[in-house]
Structure 1
Amino acid sequence: MKIAEDRVRFNVGGRVFETTSTTIANAGRNSFLGALFDENWSLKPGYGANSNRELFLDRNPDCFSVLLDLLRTGDLNIPPHIPERLLYREASFYGLLDHVRSAKWGAFDGNRLRHCRSVSGRAPGDGTAIRAGPDGGCCVAHGSVVHVYDWNMEEHPTLNLDYQRVNDVAWVDPESLIISACERLGRHGDGGMGLFSKSTGELRYKFQVWHENQAKSYTAGALSISNSDYRIFSSCKGRSNEYGIGVWDQVTGKQIDFFYESPGWSLGDADKLQWLNGSSCLLVATLFPRKDNCYISLLDFRDKSMVWSWSDIGAPVTVDEKRVRDAIAMEDSNAVCVVNEYEDLGFMDLRMNGGSLRWSSRSRLMKGKMADEPCYPKLALHDGQLFSSMDDCISVFSGPDWILTSRLRRTYGGSICDFSIGGDRLFALHSEENVFDVWETPPLPVL
């Protein structure tokens, strides 16, 4: 990349700043400041040291000074008199939010997560799901509404489905999310799934299920996204025989496939879907207590086959602690991990169809009396670490043997009903109090 050794002068809100083109180029081509360069990364005429021209910007000079120092050094130093919200707004104007995020957060590490804030007033006792967005924000579903937040936890317009309970939420990209609900998507008409704008709350598209050339009403349940080939998956239940897993194209919104439920399978009631990029398969899990028995399978849509399956039908279950509450596939380990209500982890080999379930209690955290109204544990896998919620804490497991290495816990909020990891943050939704927590990894100290 060619960088001209020219100086650049800015007049920001009446204060003059002078820097070099090398520093400004650190902003990147897609930034506001990157527009000062041509395709060869040379300053465009009128901006170099040989010009007396100042580029005037009617913006906050204090924030510009912080952002300019960030481009020079890579460090973010915010003086006490500058509100962070103001700095983030200015960074957004200049296209430098990614630079701020990289400087503010270290590489995600579950063993170093720090609680950074709690957000209250948005999940009054009936929280359905919390989903981390790709840009560091999140969305919270409860009842018939979804609250959407940017990475600074500023709320966007609320998505209201007119008394239809939200079943699941998934992010398609930083600006769009999908909501699944019951047969009618509120006032928007038939169809249990819609694509919404994060910024405006506008419904952009309704996803339909077609059977015998007719659009059918259906309830959409668990969601999963495959961004590698732009597909959307949802468990579906219709009034006739539209039971199974529907597949839609992200770009056109059209249904492109449907995996119908056969006798002995449990697809339409699935609690969890997970797309596996390595094997191009979809994990489908139907869990207790939705069904008396647990069904976990891997579906290959290339030849419409079930390539792996497991169920606890016939298993010698005498007490509820061996009921599977959540499941997650770990492709690197060729395994499926499950968890019961006492946070025992169980493992099954994906290379053995219908293989046995091996429970391990060495990772158990909760001993003795359970909470009066505990939430079912949830699992997540991120950057080679396994996470499991249990009552009011989240456990972190690391290493090839998944040894318990740390746990995250706040002193208030009650049981955690759901959590999600994304955008280098972990979000935990509490059921007993009207609150969700935000955890992030601080940068390593500068020596």
Structure 2
Amino acid sequence: MMGIQRDRVRFNVGGRTFETTSTTLANAGRNSFFGALFDDNWNLQPMNSSSELFLDRNPDCFAVLLDLLRTGDLYVPPNVPEKLLCREAQFYGVLDHVRAAKWGQFDGNRLRLSRSITGPAPGDGTAIRAGPDGGCCVAHGSMVHVYDWMMEEHPPINLDYQRVNDAGWIDPESIVISACERLGTGDGGMGLFSSSTGELRYKFQVSHQNQIKSYTAGALTFNSDYKIFSSCKGRSNEYGVGVWDPIAEKQVDFFYESPGWSLGDADKLQWLNGYNCLLVATLFPRKDNCYISLLDFRQKNMVWSWSDIGTPITFDEKRVRDAIAMEGSSSICVVNEYEDLGFMDLRSAAGSVRWSSRSRLMNGKLSDEPCYPKLALHDGQLFSSMSDCISVFSGPDCVLTSRLRRSYGGSICDFSIGGDRLFALHSEENVFDIWETPPTSVL
């Protein structure tokens, strides 16, 4: 980096002396503990060359982390517990460097099964959501079990018998959970919780005509400004999609549904940054007919919509189970229960779906268990779950390039991508898999 002085820096960590350079410390980044030693121009703050900075921390871990900053490689000696190393990395603000060294940049075609975890709750889980730091949360009935990136479980979030509908991460420390009305306390169907303690920090309310309304919150999504969007189903006339600002802790907007459109029952929400619109999808089997629309909150109108109403009766074979907008190709991808992929062009008025069957299972055999395919996008790749595997599609033509599958666990009921990991939740015993990209080998 330009402007960095090549000064040597001496640390005394737990009684052991370490000497390094400002260049090595700068590799930790501005937001790290070491970044605070630099000024705005990345020059080391004035220090006496003969002095040393004392840190009452673990010296063995410091040696590992300093070597990581020097070389980019992570070597953990047998005498250093990995959990202790991660705790120290978090203190110094270099946990992302440790994660990056443990596995490579996410690539669906190179993913390998890292481990599988059986959840503490019996029976089926309902949803899994990847956290931004490589952890995840698993919704099960009225409980949400939270794991950090080391897969250490934090205190669970308990909604007091209120069924969880959806969950999402605002940041590594904050989880938003939507549930049936009252959220167990009588005044709202959505709350902000601490991921580390499970504590309820804030209840999101819906107000209409200056009155607080009871409501059930459904599907969740977030935009780049961290605004929260949720489908809402109330008792009177507040059905639709609500918007909240978690920083200001208040409702900032509400889109009321038009006749014939079940926005309050939406199964899927997705914010489209390029279009500055919200995708809302109500899918089979919640409704006999599927509805997909784009909402423009600035103009308060629906700018694009599609429904399977009026399609031929043979459409039973094409009922939509999930939908996702692909901004790069200006299209919406949908999937049915037979793992057919369909595509609709956002640049024209909503019309027919262009279906493709190239994604079907090789043996053509479907699971006996109810199967609800899911879709996800990450770094230009499309992912689709079906039965006990996840298909990966690459390129502008969405060509099937690989499949992720293991030998047990039952059908995949949900999966999620985040923090450079893919998490797949199976229907059997609430077990979920963790898929990672191996780091590039060093010759």
Question: For the superposition of Structure 1 and Structure 2, which TM-score range results when normalised by the shorter chain?
Answer: over 0.9
Q: Structure 2 counterpart of 1:312, which letter?
A: D
Task: Pick closer, same or farther for the CA change 1:89–1:15 going to 2, 3 Å.
Answer: same
**Which residue does the alignment assign to 1:203?**
200
**Which residue does the alignment assign to 1:219?**
216
Q: d(CA) in 1 for partners of 2:47 and 2:277? A: 55
Give yes or no for contact 1:122–1:435 (8 Å, CA) kept in 2: no
Q: d(CA) in 2 for partners of 1:116 and 1:279? A: 37
Task: Pick closer, same or farther for the CA change 1:125–1:47 going to 2, 3 Å.
Answer: farther
Once the two structures are overlaid, the 10-residue window that deviates more, 164-173 or 119-128, is 119-128
Please list the CA deviations of residues 232-265 of structure 1 after superposition, one character each: whole Å capped at 9, or x if unmatched: 1111111112211111223212222211122121
Find 2:238's aligned residue among 239, 242, 255.
242
Once the two structures are overlaid, the 10-residue window that deviates more, 29-38 or 152-161, is 29-38
Count residues with an aligned counterpart: 442
Q: CA deviation at 1:90?
A: 1.3
SS at match of 1:185: coil
**Which residue does the alignment assign to 1:20?**
21
Q: CA deviation at 1:445?
A: 1.5
Q: Which structure 2 residues correspond to residues 11-410 of structure 1 after superposition, within 5 A? A: 11-48=12-49, 51=50, 53-186=51-184, 188-228=185-225, 230-318=226-314, 320-365=316-361, 367-410=363-406
Q: d(CA) in 1 for partners of 2:149 and 2:60? A: 22
Q: d(CA) in 1 for partners of 2:79 and 2:285? A: 52
Give yes or no for contact 1:145–1:159 (8 Å, CA) kept in 2: yes
Q: CA deviation at 1:354?
A: 2.4
Task: Pick closer, same or farther for the CA change 1:436–1:12 going to 2, 3 Å.
Answer: same
Once the two structures are overlaid, the 10-residue window that deviates more, 6-15 or 402-411, is 6-15
Give yes or no for contact 1:36–1:47 (8 Å, CA) kept in 2: no
Once the two structures are overlaid, the 10-residue window that deviates more, 57-66 or 327-336, is 57-66
Task: Pick closer, same or farther for the CA change 1:345–1:56 going to 2, 3 Å.
Answer: same
Task: Pick closer, same or farther for the CA change 1:322–1:17 going to 2, 3 Å.
Answer: same
Task: Pick closer, same or farther for the CA change 1:37–1:297 going to 2, 3 Å.
Answer: closer
State the TM-score, normalizing by the size of structure 1.
Answer: 0.94
Q: CA deviation at 1:44?
A: 4.0
Once the two structures are overlaid, the 10-residue window that deviates more, 380-389 or 346-355, is 346-355
Q: d(CA) in 2 for partners of 1:263 and 1:29? A: 51
Q: d(CA) in 2 for partners of 1:352 and 1:6? A: 60
SS at match of 2:65: helix
Once the two structures are overlaid, the 10-residue window that deviates more, 364-373 or 159-168, is 364-373
Q: d(CA) in 1 for partners of 2:387 and 2:105? A: 27
State the TM-score, normalizing by the size of structure 2.
Answer: 0.95
Q: d(CA) in 2 for partners of 1:25 and 1:362? A: 49
Q: CA deviation at 1:79?
A: 2.5
Give yes or no for contact 1:330–1:336 (8 Å, CA) kept in 2: yes
Q: CA deviation at 1:101?
A: 1.8
Give the CA RMSD over aligned residues. 1.7
Find 2:432's aligned residue among 432, 436, 442.
436
Give yes or no for contact 1:123–1:435 (8 Å, CA) kept in 2: no
Q: d(CA) in 1 for partners of 2:260 and 2:186? A: 33
Q: CA deviation at 1:5?
A: 2.9
Q: Structure 2 counterpart of 1:308, which letter?
A: W
Once the two structures are overlaid, the 10-residue window that deviates more, 418-427 or 5-14, is 5-14
Once the two structures are overlaid, the 10-residue window that deviates more, 84-93 or 287-296, is 84-93
Give yes or no for contact 2:422–2:436 (8 Å, CA) kept in 1: yes
Task: Pick closer, same or farther for the CA change 1:278–1:319 going to 2, 3 Å.
Answer: closer
Give yes or no for contact 1:375–1:390 (8 Å, CA) kept in 2: yes
Q: d(CA) in 2 for partners of 1:30 and 1:261? A: 43
Q: d(CA) in 2 for partners of 1:385 and 1:443? A: 19
Give yes or no for contact 2:224–2:273 (8 Å, CA) kept in 1: no
Give yes or no for contact 1:343–1:366 (8 Å, CA) kept in 2: no
Q: d(CA) in 2 for partners of 1:346 and 1:124? A: 35
Q: d(CA) in 1 for partners of 2:336 and 2:41? A: 58
Q: d(CA) in 2 for partners of 1:45 and 1:335? A: 55
Give yes or no for contact 2:228–2:246 (8 Å, CA) kept in 1: yes
Task: Pick closer, same or farther for the CA change 1:378–1:123 going to 2, 3 Å.
Answer: farther
Segments of 5+ residues of structure 1 without an aligned counterpart are: none
Give yes or no for contact 2:124–2:429 (8 Å, CA) kept in 1: no
Q: CA deviation at 1:366?
A: 5.2
Q: CA deviation at 1:38?
A: 4.3
